Amino acid sequence: MADGTLRRRLKTIPTFVGGLLVMLTAAPVLLPLIAVADAIRWVVGRHPWMGTRLYCFGLVYLSAETVGLVALGSVWLAAGCGRFRRPLLDWTFAIQQAWAGTLLAAVRGIFGIRIEVEGGNAVSPGPILLMVRHASIVDNLLPAALVSKRHGIRLRYVLKRELLSDPCLDVAGNRLPNYFVARGSNDTQSELAAIRKLADEMGPQDGVLIYPEGTRFTKAKQSRALEKLGKGDPGIFERAQQLRHVLPPRLGGPLALLNAADPADVVVLAHHGLEGFAQLRDIWAGGMVNATIRVEFWRITRTAVPTEHLDQISWLHDVWSQVDTWIDEHHRRDAPT
């Protein structure tokens, strides 16, 4: 284990486990006080009981982290301290699925959300390149439930390196074939080569997941992206200006995967309704309580994807424009009348 990884885990693991112990110890005192505050907010302004919900979700999250770390350590020992790679990877994938499934079930139960899915048959068989819209911390959990669990596709994730601050993601994510991108790296070619390598040797039960936007959508991030694009190709800038609900796709990672040695069909995962979990103020305002999350998949065969660089750029913007239009249609349909 590298020194940097060891130092990071010596910080994050005690912090998460200690946080769980503090929350459990304080719950008999804090939860009644939080419930009183929630009741006052509901009486005064009919605001949902968010304090109680968030405390309960925090307990579930930290419990899932702690149990997950114990399980990950146990299977590492059972696999001969990591020497038996095949069972170690299989067990780690199963733990990853249980961890994500637990958190998604907690989100659904605590916040009362419903998930409606269309086009699920487009997911399998693999190999696939799964492109996911990014609007919330919760959409990180959707692929595990809707792709891996339902269709048996073992996804390899392209994730930002900042997520290594979550110890379960750190341990399981580095053990499985994923890649944590160092955004702003000076060695772009090495980063892209590592992303491209994820698509090697994929079979009917494999896929690579990437968020083409690179980060969650906000109006502020959209403005910064447009400001940067305004200094480049006028055609791309004009197309990016027309997007209403998504950020313009970043080109590096998606194009690297499209040009991997082993071709794969593209599956798009669009969703609407998770915007209430985009930022803390949205969560506190109750934007996710009793929400309906609509998800749709569609598949694009590899033969329908251009092979020329400029054509691929135009194609990627076409796909993301289609996602934006889909979101806008659902936004208008679900808006209060």
Mean pLDDT of the chain: 92
Say yes or no to pLDDT of 337 above 60: no
Sheet holding 265-272, edge to edge: 114-118, 292-300, 265-272, 128-132, 206-210, 154-160, 179-181
- Angle between helical axes of 50-78 and 85-111 (0-180°, round to 10): 170
Burial of 217 (0-12, 13-18, 19+ CB in 10 A): buried
Q: What percent of the chain has pLDDT over 90?
A: 77
Say yes or no to pLDDT of 102 above 70: yes
What's the pLDDT at 276? 66
Say yes or no to pLDDT of 2 above 70: yes
Q: Residue 337 CB: number of other CB atoms within 10 A?
A: 2
Tally the domains of the chain: 1
What's the pLDDT at 4? 84
Q: Are 309 and 252 in contact (CB under 8 A)?
A: no
What's the pLDDT at 335? 67
pLDDT tier for residue 117 given thresholds of 50, 70 and 90: very high
- d(C-alpha 322, C-alpha 157), whole Å: 23
What's the pLDDT at 184? 75
pLDDT tier for residue 218 given thresholds of 50, 70 and 90: confident
Q: Find where tokens 């194609």 sit.
A: 315
Average the pLDDT over each of 59-68, 203-212, 215-224 and give the range with the smallest value. 215-224
- d(C-alpha 235, C-alpha 242), whole Å: 11
Q: Find where tokens 């020992």 sit.
A: 77
DSSP output for 233-288: -HHHHHHHHT-SSSPPPPSHHHHHHHTSSS--EEEEEEEES-GGGSSHHHHHTTTT
Beta strand ranges found along the chain (DSSP E)? 114-118, 128-132, 154-160, 179-181, 206-210, 265-272, 292-300
pLDDT tier for residue 105 given thresholds of 50, 70 and 90: very high
- d(C-alpha 122, C-alpha 135), whole Å: 22
Q: Residue 290 CB: number of other CB atoms within 10 A?
A: 10
Give me the domain span that covers residue 180.
3-334
Query: What residue type is 111 in one-letter code?
Result: F
- Angle between helical axes of 50-78 and 167-175 (0-180°, round to 10): 40
Phi, psi of 270 (to 5 degrees): -105, 145
Averaged pLDDT, 13-28: 97
- d(C-alpha 252, C-alpha 315), whole Å: 14
What's the pLDDT at 336? 58
Say yes or no to pLDDT of 146 above 80: yes
Give 104 or 126, the one with higher predicted confidence. Answer: 104
Per residue in 24-72, pLDDT (tens digit) is 999 999 999 999 999 999 999 888 999 999 999 999 999 999 999 999 9
CA-closest candidate to residue 37, choices 22, 53, 21: 53
Give the domain CATH number at 115: 3.40.1130
